[in-house]
């Protein structure tokens, strides 16, 4: 108790910081740009200032925090704040994916069978869509996005990508053990392997998307199957990209000699994020590709 | 000069940064709390003006102040502004001010993130309110944004969606900060079951926020991609379903209702013991009741959409789970009453608002119970009865609790006492006319007047007139509130003691009035804690 007492009395409260307001401005210019772009008032390049400002802000804000850490202003309490913060941030991300998984389960289990006349909805089928038989995958009774399309197979790129991501989960764990054992060389190598696997995943996914658009007639606009497939895997791919960039950043920090076997919150936060991305992928593989 | 400042900073313990930097680069929880409260007050004014416009149009049948599209924009934006712009930021502002003071923490756990949570809001509000002025006007499909209607608006549609994304980011970051502060920065000896109930209710609210704001983000993102990128989430021809939006939205929406009211429960649980000069009756039961309400809020969303055509089994489930909420809520109401029982009551403005809350929130709760019954809901759905119900829980519920909280803690913030007589005027005008405003809407709804219409059949005129008159006087009397606060800050009588309320317990009352700019740099002593928690 006395330890906690001493720690909390020294809790680090930073003085004024310009980064939050820059972050708010970046988000605002991004959103305003998106509005103008979607309304057809401006070309897509209008998003560039927002993205650039956002990148500048992340670099600046995180360097400030890393610098503070190197100067030893953070102790046990601050470290725990960061940990709890990261945990709950990841939980909010889980809930974001839950909304899209919910949409997938709802359409597969309810709305598509109902359109096919299941349950009390016989008249919906009879009056509105008389020839529609509920199946999955489907692009609906209106064949939105074209009459013929191919569905994604669980044995193609998806299987390879599952292996890639699971392996990366292994390599980052090895890197973590190496960090704790003080084996810096091994840490550097396995951390590098991890982000290389991450970027490999993104590359393979880009290839998969290209294939879908060019050869399978499967697009974002391909009814509910295309919508759920591309939104779920797309948001996941975005998170893998962000995670891989985070891995790259901590790799550079490792090269610069940051992190000790006892204290390496940033490493652990990125590892948690990476495992979260991994778990989401497993759900995707099972529910989007396989079943 | 700069050096002078430097030395002054070292000499004076209570140093504040000067000028605009103090606010724009703020990391102090009190400054950020103040900014939140000012933003909430501003949005309350804008949302209130929309409400006045709505009541003016509905003053009698055949009024043509606004064209129907504009009227629908006004009702839609009134709802969105009051929920996301007024009540939620007011709670976060109170959380910022009070949670560190109440748990003996030097500040919020993540001060820079705290600044970001706030400063996102003015931009989001700008985007939202500016949508009134783009071609086609503001979104007019109701605050619930149901498709496909929602997707038929012009530039305002993406503006609102991105404003919601921004407000969601702000809420999530703010909620993370609250959780981390409470879990990590409690003073030694401030165990979980010694925390004041405002802290407890906010902790649970923060969990709700983190769980459901991302779901709302998902729901509006699907709207956006359906409209601009050709997805089929809410398009039956593509295999989707507009009803899917209702499910996702209300999975957010019902916990959201409790996000708006749980901190109010916390404040009432602070005020009633103080002015009854008794410890809160059933403290632990209050904590568990709050947690139960939060849990139940995740499994009742279907009661917002009984008439949409869902299977009978689902209707039964949602009906029963909804009625179950009356149990923990009843625990709370009875505990408040039991706290007052044989207490040494006095009726200063915070207590007046708390007692009014007890009566009027319960009325809103009872009409909620009526709406929970599937067969009755078939009658009430989409009528003014629903409008009366949720305004009873939100205005004399959430808003009165905010008023009560401000009147309770304003002396602590400013170090001065406000004009009690004026505050009592504010109370009596509010409590009388909020009933004149909303009670007749029950009758209108039961008689069949639909909500969200710019005009109505002449037989509804009388009660609408009564309601509008109540609305105008209620609205006008709110001008007293900022006046009382400004007058208090500028010329209120300074308070010498740590607490102006003789029955108040809690760590915030162990600090001087006004609370110093940096408080609890050293954690409170066990003696303070024992005196402060009082149980």
Spans of all domains in chain A: 1-74, 82-290
**How large is the C-alpha radius of gyration of chain B?**
23
3-state secondary structure of A14: coil
Give residue B18's pLDDT.
Answer: 85
Residue B16 pLDDT level (bands cut at 50, 70, 90): confident
Look at B17 and A138 and tell me if their CB atoms are within 8 Å: no
Judged against a pLDDT cut of 80, whether residue B2 lies above it is answered with no
For the entire predicted model, the pTM comes to 0.95
Tokens 């998307």 sit on residue = A209
For B357-395, letters b (16+ CB in 10 Å) and e give bbebbbbbbebbeebbbbeebeebbebbbbbbbbbbbbb
Judged against a pLDDT cut of 90, whether residue B255 lies above it is answered with yes
CB interface of A with B, residues 143-172, below 8 Å: 144-145
Look at B248 and A114 and tell me if their CB atoms are within 8 Å: no
DSSP type of residue B149: G
Give residue A138's pLDDT.
Answer: 95
Q: What is the pLDDT of residues B76-132, one digit of tens each?
A: 999 999 999 999 999 999 999 999 999 999 999 999 999 999 999 999 999 999 999
Look at A95 and B214 and tell me if their CB atoms are within 8 Å: yes
Give residue A10's pLDDT.
Answer: 77
Cβ atoms of residues B496 and B438 within 8 Å:
no
Using CA coordinates, name the residue in chain A closest to B518: A13
Look at B240 and A138 and tell me if their CB atoms are within 8 Å: no
Q: What is the mean pLDDT of residues B199-211?
A: 98
Q: What is the mean pLDDT of residues B340-361?
A: 97
Q: What is the pLDDT of residues B27-81, one digit of tens each?
A: 999 999 999 999 999 999 999 999 999 999 999 999 889 999 999 999 999 999 9
Residues (pLDDT < 70) of chain A are 1-9
Spatial separation of the C-alpha atoms in residues B139 and B51, rounded to whole Å: 16
Q: Where are the alpha helices (DSSP H) in B415-506?
A: 420-446, 461-477, 480-491
Give residue B9's pLDDT.
Answer: 40
Give residue B518's pLDDT.
Answer: 92
Give residue B144's pLDDT.
Answer: 96
For residue B239, list chain A residues with Cβ-Cβ distance below 8 A. 107, 111-112, 115, 138-141, 144, 223-225
ipTM of the modeled complex = 0.95
Look at A20 and B119 and tell me if their CB atoms are within 8 Å: yes
Cβ atoms of residues A198 and A168 within 8 Å:
yes
CATH number, domain A1-74? 1.10.287.70
- How many Å lie between the alpha carbon of B210 and the closest alpha carbon of chain A? 5
Q: What are phi and psi of B153, to 5 degrees?
A: -95, 160
Spatial separation of the C-alpha atoms in residues B46 and B126, rounded to whole Å: 12
For residue A106, list chain B residues with Cβ-Cβ distance below 8 A. 241, 244, 247
Is the minimum CB–CB distance between A90 and chain B shorter than 8 Å?
A: no
- How many Å lie between the alpha carbon of B130 and the closest alpha carbon of chain A? 11
Residue B133 CB contacts under 8 Å (≥ 6 apart), including other chains:
none
Using CA coordinates, name the residue in chain A closest to B210: A92
Look at B239 and A112 and tell me if their CB atoms are within 8 Å: yes
Tokens 């009702």 sit on residue = B75
Residue B441 CB contacts under 8 Å (≥ 6 apart), including other chains:
B384, B385, B387, B388, B391, B463, B467
- How many Å lie between the alpha carbon of B358 and the closest alpha carbon of chain A? 34
Judged against a pLDDT cut of 80, whether residue B6 lies above it is answered with no
Q: ∠ CA(A152), CA(A158), CA(A159), 5° rounding? A: 125
The architecture (CATH level 2) of A82-290 comes to Up-down Bundle (1.20)
Burial environment of residue A258 by CB neighbours within 10 A (0 to 12, 13 to 18, 19 or more): middle
Spatial separation of the C-alpha atoms in residues B294 and B302, rounded to whole Å: 16
Q: Higher pLDDT residue, B10 or B52?
A: B52
User: Can you read off the two tokens belonging to residue B409?
Assistant: 């803690």
Using CA coordinates, name the residue in chain A closest to B153: A39
User: Between the CA of residue B232 and those of A123, A141, A208, A230, what are the distances in Å?
Assistant: 22, 12, 21, 12
Q: What are phi and psi of B283, to 5 degrees?
A: -55, -50
Cβ atoms of residues A103 and B244 within 8 Å:
yes
Is the minimum CB–CB distance between A84 and chain B shorter than 8 Å?
A: yes
User: Can you read off the two tokens belonging to residue A80?
Assistant: 């725990």
Q: ∠ CA(B476), CA(B482), CA(B485), 5° rounding? A: 140
Give residue B10's pLDDT.
Answer: 41
Using CA coordinates, name the residue in chain A closest to B113: A20
Judged against a pLDDT cut of 80, whether residue B271 lies above it is answered with yes
Q: Which residues of B are catalytic?
A: 78, 107, 143, 170-171, 254, 256, 258, 269, 303-304, 329, 332, 451
Question: Does an H or E element contain A33, and which?
Answer: helix A19-38
Is the minimum CB–CB distance between A10 and chain B shorter than 8 Å?
A: no
Cβ atoms of residues B480 and B426 within 8 Å:
yes
Q: What is the pLDDT of residues B152-178, one digit of tens each?
A: 898 999 999 999 999 999 999 999 999
Using CA coordinates, name the residue in chain B closest to A80: B184
Judged against a pLDDT cut of 60, whether residue B5 lies above it is answered with no
Q: What is the mean pLDDT of residues B185-194?
A: 94
Chain A interface disruption, residue of B118, B162, B238, most A CBs within 10 A: B238
Interchain CB contacts (distance < 8 Å): A and B:
243
């Amino acid at each position: 108790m006395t330890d906690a007492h001493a720690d909390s009395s020294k809790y680090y409260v930073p003085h004024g910081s310009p980064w939050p307001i820059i972050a708010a401005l970046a988000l605002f210019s991004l959103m305003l740009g998106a509005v103008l772009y979607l309304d057809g008032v401006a070309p897509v390049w209008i998003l560039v200032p927002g993205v650039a400002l956002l990148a500048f802000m992340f670099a600046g804000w995180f360097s400030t925090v890393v610098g503070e850490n190197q100067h030893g202003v953070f102790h046990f309490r601050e470290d725990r704040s960061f940990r709890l913060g990261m945990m709950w941030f990841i939980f909010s991300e889980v809930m974001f994916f839950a909304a899209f998984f919910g949409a997938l389960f709802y359409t597969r289990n309810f709305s598509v069978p109902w359109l096919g006349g299941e349950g009390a909805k016989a008249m919906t089928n009879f009056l509105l869509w008389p020839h529609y038989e509920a199946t999955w995958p489907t692009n609906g009774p209106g064949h939105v996005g074209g009459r013929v399309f191919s569905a994604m197979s669980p044995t193609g790129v998806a299987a390879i990508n599952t292996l890639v991501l699971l392996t990366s989960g292994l390599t980052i764990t090895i890197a973590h053990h190496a960090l704790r054992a003080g084996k810096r060389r091994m840490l550097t190598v396995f951390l590098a392997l991890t982000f290389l696997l991450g970027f490999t995943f993104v590359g393979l996914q880009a290839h998969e998307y290209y294939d879908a658009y060019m050869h399978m007639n499967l697009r974002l606009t391909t009814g509910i199957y295309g919508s759920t497939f591309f939104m779920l895997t797309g948001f996941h791919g975005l998170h893998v990209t962000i995670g891989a960039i985070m891995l790259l950043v901590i790799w550079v920090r490792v090269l610069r000699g940051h992190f000790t076997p006892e204290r390496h919150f940033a490493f652990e936060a990125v590892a948690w994020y990476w495992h979260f991305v991994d778990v989401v992928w497993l759900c995707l593989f099972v529910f989007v590709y396989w079943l | 000069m700069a050096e002078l400042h430097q030395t002054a900073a070292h000499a004076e313990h209570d140093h504040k940064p000067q000028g605009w930097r103090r606010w724009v680069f703020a990391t102090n929880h009190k400054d950020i709390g103040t900014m939140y409260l000012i933003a909430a007050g501003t949005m309350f004014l804008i949302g209130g003006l929309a409400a006045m416009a709505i009541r003016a149009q509905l003053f009698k049948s055949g009024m043509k102040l606004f064209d129907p599209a504009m009227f629908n924009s006004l009702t839609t934006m009134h709802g969105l502004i009051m929920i996301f712009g007024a009540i939620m930021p007011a709670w976060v502002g109170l959380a910022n001010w009070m949670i560190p003071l109440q748990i003996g923490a030097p500040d919020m756990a993540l001060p820079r993130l705290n600044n970001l949570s706030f400063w996102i809001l003015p931009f989001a509000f700008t985007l939202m309110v500016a949508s009134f002025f783009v071609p086609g006007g503001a979104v007019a499909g109701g605050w619930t944004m149901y498709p496909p209607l929602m997707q038929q608006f012009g530039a305002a549609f993406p503006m609102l969606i991105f404003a919601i994304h921004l407000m969601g980011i702000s809420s999530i970051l703010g909620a993370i900060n609250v959780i981390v502060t409470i879990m990590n920065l409690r003073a030694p000896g401030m165990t979980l079951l010694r925390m004041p109930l405002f802290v407890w209710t906010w902790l649970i609210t923060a969990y709700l926020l983190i769980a459901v704001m991302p779901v709302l983000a998902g729901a509006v993102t699907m709207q956006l991609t359906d409209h601009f990128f050709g997805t089929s989430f809410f398009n039956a021809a593509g295999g989707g379903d507009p009803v899917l939006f209702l499910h996702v939205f209300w999975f957010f929406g019902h916990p959201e209702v409790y996000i708006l009211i749980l901190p109010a429960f916390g404040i009432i649980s602070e005020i009633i013991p103080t002015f009854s000069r008794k410890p809160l009756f059933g403290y632990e039961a209050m904590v568990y009741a709050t947690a139960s309400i939060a849990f139940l809020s995740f499994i009742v969303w279907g009661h917002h959409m009984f008439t949409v055509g869902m299977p009978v089994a689902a209707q039964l489930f949602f009906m029963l789970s909804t009625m179950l909420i009356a149990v923990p809520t009843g625990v709370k109401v009875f505990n408040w009453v039991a706290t007052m029982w044989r207490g040494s009551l006095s009726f200063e403005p915070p207590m007046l608002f708390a007692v009014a809350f007890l009566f009027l929130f319960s009325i809103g709760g009872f009409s909620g119970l009526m709406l929970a019954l599937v067969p009755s809901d078939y009658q009430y759905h989409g009528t003014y009865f629903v409008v009366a119900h949720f305004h009873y829980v939100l205005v004399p519920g959430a808003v009165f609790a905010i008023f009560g909280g401000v009147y309770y803690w304003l002396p602590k913030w400013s170090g001065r006492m406000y004009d009690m007589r004026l505050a009592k005027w504010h109370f009596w005008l509010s409590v009388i006319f909020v009933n004149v405003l909303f009670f007749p809407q029950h009758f209108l709804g039961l008689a069949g007047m639909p909500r969200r219409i710019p005009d109505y059949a002449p037989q509804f005129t009388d009660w609408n007139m009564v309601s509008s008159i109540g609305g105008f006087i209620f609205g006008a009397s709110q001008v007293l509130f900022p006046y009382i606060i400004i007058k208090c800050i500028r010329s209120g009588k300074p308070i010498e003691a740590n607490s102006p309320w003789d029955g108040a317990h809690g760590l915030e009352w162990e600090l001087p009035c006004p609370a110093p700019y940096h408080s609890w740099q050293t954690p409170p002593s066990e003696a303070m804690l024992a005196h402060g928690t009082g149980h």
